[in-house]
Structure 1
């Protein structure tokens, strides 16, 4: 097997575990705070749960560009190993938390040392043949999205099977195994001497240089609005399922299924749309996927039954599968040599920002426009995103783009 394929397989596994580990606490976090950490007031539990969940993304947003700079200097593999082994240790320590402050500080530490995903993307982009870049980015993204969406479902199942604390130990062990696989299987041709000879700009100077490239700024904006639109209604999905279902029977299962089905269709579509982008161009796949995702929010707002909502969210996942892989391919296309890791890190920061402000804004807006209105707002944001992508990227393409050899 070619080395780039080995890298892709191992890092797909790592991406899945990292994102699942970050999100699998969602179903039982409030219960963990109540039964293991001794909180009893419902309002206090709700506040702590929100702060603890967001803490990971706050520090990740701040520190990702720093790790990106070091990745361009010392190599992507070193950074992903640092992040993988570090998060494995922190995840195990979460199982020993005795009060909410312990859990909050560990989640913030986890975000601080994170960087596995942008380092993986940068490494895969550097080792994959250009004519297979779309397929590789799509496959890698399917692992990350699969972990993000299936993480809560896995966490809920494990909580019922083994209890709350053992989940952290199991997740830490799996992250450690994924990091070991990366250590022994993943290979990167990185010239340390050449990297050392380059003038290494500071984080702010690096951002200034990248910000002068309009295509990259457009792509960062696309990433932010994709995540914002996708996450803003996410925390209210269980309440919407309850409204449509009309009873409490099998409610938890249906809510988890509706939340996870987007990830399943995303995992299916990402490699296929990535392969398509190799043939017709990532810009075109991005624009069509944005419009398709925007339209897929409308039937969610108009659903009368849980099964209609389920089908609509499955369709949304098919279009979402073409978004982030196309963005990652285009970032590699427009980034100057030697700054790839930094560009992916800035993009990862915008992803974390969307994860932070999406649920908060969605919760605030829902009091005025309801869950139905949130779906329409998300669809409108996706359409604006599509217009932005067309103006910044697609409009400047030649009428007949050269296709790579089959």
Structure 2
């Protein structure tokens, strides 16, 4: 098997393990806070949940560029090992916390040393033939989505047999298992070349400015931020929306799981296909089409009066989501300055983490004024803004006829 393919398959499984592990306990944080840490007030438990959930994204946003610089200097595989082993130790320790403050501190620390996903993206993109990069990044994205979908399900099953504290320990062991996969089976081909100290210092001084002045990278960073901001402004409130739509009081948890997993399943299925399509016609076209599709499928979600059409719309939305982040990553790989690929991906990851952090905050603040239905209209508006922004930054000279010609030529 070609080395890039072996790396891709191993990192797919490793990334699946990491995302599944990190999602084992997150959906059950309010219950852990109430049952194990003594936060009896439900309102206080929700408030602590928000802070603890967002803490990881806050520190990850701040430190991602630092790890990106080190990856361009020391290698991407080293960053994968550093991140997975560090997160495994910190998460294992979460099983011993005695207060919400201690858990919050450990989540902040976990964000400081995280970075497995962007390091995996950087390694795959720099060790895969350029004509296969779109497919590889789409395939890698499907592993992350699969872990995100199955993590809560596995966590729910484990909670029936072990305690919440044991789940943290199991999570730590899963993360350590992912690190062993990387150590034993991943081989980095295009390692960064050693440079003199003076050359490194000069490069670091000019690195950030060079990235920001490389068109269209700043526009792609903003695109990634808006994608995550729009998605996360609705996702945390999906369970409340389903409860509002579901007339029967029975099986509400099951319906919540089905609605949430619908988009994830379609994303997992269609991300590799859209990535391969991007290799043929250009990722900028796939990105634009998927942004338009997100607008089309977000609007009716705010108009539904039943759970069943919502499930269908979430599945269709997931198809579009499957082409968004992989297309952005493929374009970043295309335009990133040579030797600064990991650093460029790190700035992109910081922008997305900022969207992950601010999206739920904005959704929570605005839901009291515009209602849960209004959040979907807001998300559609953000995707429309993003569509116009991508059209301006990547398609200034393109017309619908040109886009159609590219699509027909690919066939």
Contact residue 267 and residue 321 of structure 2 kept, 8 A: yes
Query: Which residues in structure 2 correspond to 1:237-248 (within 5 Å)?
Result: 237-248=238-249
Question: How many angstroms does 1:304 deviate by?
Answer: 1.9
The 3-state SS of whatever aligns with 2:200 is: coil
Please list the CA deviations of residues 181-222 of structure 1 after superposition, one character each: whole Å capped at 9, or x if unmatched. 111111112455444574345867532221112311111111
Say whether residues 1:187 and 2:202 are aligned partners. no
Please, what TM-score do these two structures have when normalized by structure 1? 0.95
Partner of 1:286: 287
Match of 2:53 in 1: 53
Instruction: Determine the structure 1 residue equivalent to 2:252.
Output: 251
Question: What CA deviation, in whole Å up to 9, does each residue of 1:29-86 have, x standing for no partner?
Answer: 0111111112212232222111111111111000010000000000001111100111
The answer for unaligned runs of 5 or more in structure 2 is none
Aligned counterparts of 1:203 and 1:33: Cα–Cα separation in 2: 43
2:268 pairs with 1:272 = no
Quick one: structure 1 residues 405 and 265, their matched pair in 2 at CA, closer, same or farther if it must change by over 3 Å?
A: closer
Q: How many pairs were matched up?
A: 406
- Bigger Cα displacement from structure 2, 364-373 vs 201-210: 201-210
Q: Is the 1:11–1:120 Cα contact (8 Å) retained in structure 2?
A: yes
- Offset, 1:267: 0.4
Structure 1 residues 396 and 67, CA gap change in structure 2 (3 angstroms): farther
- Structure 1 residue aligned with 2:164: 164
Cα distance in 1 for residues equivalent to 2:162 and 2:381: 42
The equivalent residue for 2:79 is 79
1:255-334 counterparts in 2 under 5 A?
255-334=256-335
- Greater shift after overlay, 230-239 or 128-137? 230-239
Give the whole-Å Cα distance in 2 for the aligned partners of 1:191 and 1:152: 36
Superposition map of 1:103-182 within 5 A = 103-182=103-182
CA distance in structure 1 between the partners assigned to 2:384 and 2:205 by the alignment: 31
Q: Aligned-pair distance for 1:307?
A: 1.1
- Give the secondary structure class of the aligned counterpart of 1:66: helix
TM-score, normalising length from structure 2?
0.93
Give the C-alpha shift of residue 170 in structure 1.
1.6
Q: How far 1:393 moved relative to its partner?
A: 0.8
CA contact (8 A) 2:33 2:100 kept: yes
Q: What is the aligned partner in structure 1 of residue 356 from structure 2?
A: 355
The answer to whether the 8 A contact 1:72-1:195 is kept is: no
Give the distance between the partners of 1:154 and 1:318, measured in 2 at CA: 24
Matches of 2:201 and 2:285, distance apart in 1: 34
Report what 1:386 is aligned to.
387
Separation (CA, whole Å) in 1 of partners of 2:138 and 2:324: 9
d(CA) in 1 for partners of 2:37 and 2:132? 48
Q: Is 1:134–1:282's contact at 8 Å kept on the other side of the alignment?
A: yes
Structure 1 segment 195-234 matched on structure 2, within 5 A:
195-196=195-196, 198-200=199-201, 205-234=206-235
Structure 1 gaps, min length 5: none
2:373 aligned counterpart, secondary structure: helix
Secondary structure of the residue aligned to 1:123 is helix
Distance 1:59 1:388 in 2: 28
- Offset from partner CA, 1:123-168 (integer Å, 9 cap, x none): 1011101111110010111122333344333323322332311211
In the alignment, the residues of structure 1 paired with residue 49 and residue 205 of structure 2 have an alpha-carbon distance, to the nearest angstrom, of 33
**Separation in structure 1 between the aligned mates of residue 55 and residue 371 of structure 2, nearest angstrom:** 26
Range moving further from structure 2, 34-43 or 146-155: 146-155
